[in-house]
A and B are shown apart, each in its own frame.
Chain A
Amino acid sequence: MILTSLRVPVAEFTELTGWEPKPEGMCRGEVCVPAPGALDNGTVNVEAAAERLGMPLVHDPKHKVWALGVSTATGRALASARAIFPSSLIDGTSNTNSNFDFTSLRGRRMIMVAWASW
């Protein structure tokens, strides 16, 4: 997750990481991690959330940008079995770089296969 500020709207943080601030802490699916200070005036305090969720935060001061790594809170690559469908994936059948809308697949079984041209 790329950041130009360490205060991020809740919806954006949740969409990109799968972790959502709730009264019990930062939650992803059924997993919640206590995270005092992570929610600050309706935005996510990224440094606080990252520390609680075990998400490494790296910074490139020259370009004034941060990148947030994946959570290590559960010790497994998947914190929850609930799938997260990122809105940033491009529809490869179009040349317009339009994003793919996963709601078109709602209610269907799917196999997401990763391949590459390399």
Chain B
Amino acid sequence: MALDVNPDHARPWIAAANPSHPSLIDTTHCTDELFGFINVPMAVWIDENGMLVRPAETANIERSPLRDREIPDGLPDRLAKMMREVKEIPDDSESYREAIFDWMRNGADSPYVMSPDQVVDASRPISNDHARAAACFAMGEHLRRTVGHDAAVPWWREAHTLFPENWTYKRQAWTLVTTPEGATENDLIQGPNDVYDGNWLDDVVRLGGGKSYAVRPRFDRPER
């Protein structure tokens, strides 16, 4: 499920993947609030009865090749710093993949399945600022769609201030102002710009660096 306010940005990727599973697009980021997503990739597990059995957590299933890529000499300073931070992002892909396989094999008997109370307790804490940020992001997206991009900016700036740890609000907004007009793919560098105070690299560093960037899956839960 793609978190993309413009569905045409997600469709080429879906077409290229030619998936055998449903592929959805959430143009309002409503699943941020319904499931607790604050970055991508994140996932929730839902059982046959429609119950969440794991809360929102980082959902890599393979090691990113960026982790092992050498940083070339002469790379622009900001790009080199970005690559260093990316290498610091914790890699839980192997254990997460194994957990998925275990759930597929064992269903409710999998040790990775949480009880309803455990799922709620393991979901992230939410403050009034976080909840207000959700309202501000939704308002911004509504106005972007119905009035124009500039109408969204004050609301999205407010959302970024209220909930800086929500990367979906920030990365979504940044890429719309840092991607050159006519580009076929979104800008992933999301560098300094004239519209928003933040940018990917400086915000990652400010919030603790790559090692703090992901919501790591927790497999150390108590027995049910």
A100 and B22 form a contact (CB under 8 A): yes
User: Which residues of A sit under 8 angstroms from B50, Cβ to Cβ?
Assistant: 82-83, 85, 106
B131 and A92 form a contact (CB under 8 A): no
User: How far is A113 from B127 in the complex, measured between Cα atoms in Å?
Assistant: 24
> Residues 125-147 of chain B: 1 if any A CB is under 8 Å from the residue's CB, otherwise 0?
11110111111101100110011
A116 and B24 form a contact (CB under 8 A): no
B45 and A111 form a contact (CB under 8 A): yes
Interface check B1, CB cutoff 8 A:
yes
Known: A55-B131, A109-B47, A113-B41. A77 touches B56 (CB 8 A): yes
B165 to chain A, nearest CB (A): 12
Interface check A18, CB cutoff 8 A:
yes
Known: A76-B124, A83-B46, A115-B1. A92 touches B139 (CB 8 A): no
Interface check B35, CB cutoff 8 A:
yes
Number of A-B pairs, beta carbon distance below 8 Å: 218
User: Which residues of A sit under 8 angstroms from B117, Cβ to Cβ?
Assistant: 81
Interface check B34, CB cutoff 8 A:
yes
User: How far is A105 from B21 in the complex, measured between Cα atoms in Å?
Assistant: 10
B143 and A63 form a contact (CB under 8 A): yes
Interface check A117, CB cutoff 8 A:
yes
Total count of chain A residues near the partner, CB < 8 A: 57
A1 to chain B, nearest CB (A): 7
> Residues 12-52 of chain A: 1 if any B CB is under 8 Å from the residue's CB, otherwise 0?
00001010000000000110000000000000000000000
A69 and B132 form a contact (CB under 8 A): yes
User: How far is A65 from B100 in the complex, measured between Cα atoms in Å?
Assistant: 42
Q: Classify chain B: how many residues form its interface, as a range.
A: 35 or more
User: Which residues of B sit under 8 angstroms from A82, Cβ to Cβ?
Assistant: 50-52, 116
Q: State which of B22, B41, B123 has its C-beta within 8 Å of the C-beta of A115.
A: B41
Interface check B26, CB cutoff 8 A:
yes
Interface check B161, CB cutoff 8 A:
no
B7-46: which have CB < 8 Å to A?
7, 9-11, 13-14, 19, 22-28, 30-31, 33-37, 40-46
User: How far is A84 from B32 in the complex, measured between Cα atoms in Å?
Assistant: 12
Known: A100-B22, A114-B41. A76 touches B139 (CB 8 A): no
User: How far is A16 from B9 in the complex, measured between Cα atoms in Å?
Assistant: 25
> Residues 67-84 of chain A: 1 if any B CB is under 8 Å from the residue's CB, otherwise 0?
111111011111111111
Q: State which of B30, B33, B59 has its C-beta within 8 Å of the C-beta of A88.
A: B30
A103 to chain B, nearest CB (A): 11
Q: Please list 7 pairs of residues, one from A and one from B, whose beta carbons are closer than 8 Å in the complex, sorted by A's number.
A: A63-B147, A75-B126, A76-B120, A76-B126, A105-B22, A114-B42, A118-B9
Chain A residues near B (Cβ < 8 Å): 1-2, 16, 18, 29-30, 54-58, 60, 63, 65, 67-72, 74-86, 88-93, 95, 97, 100, 104-118
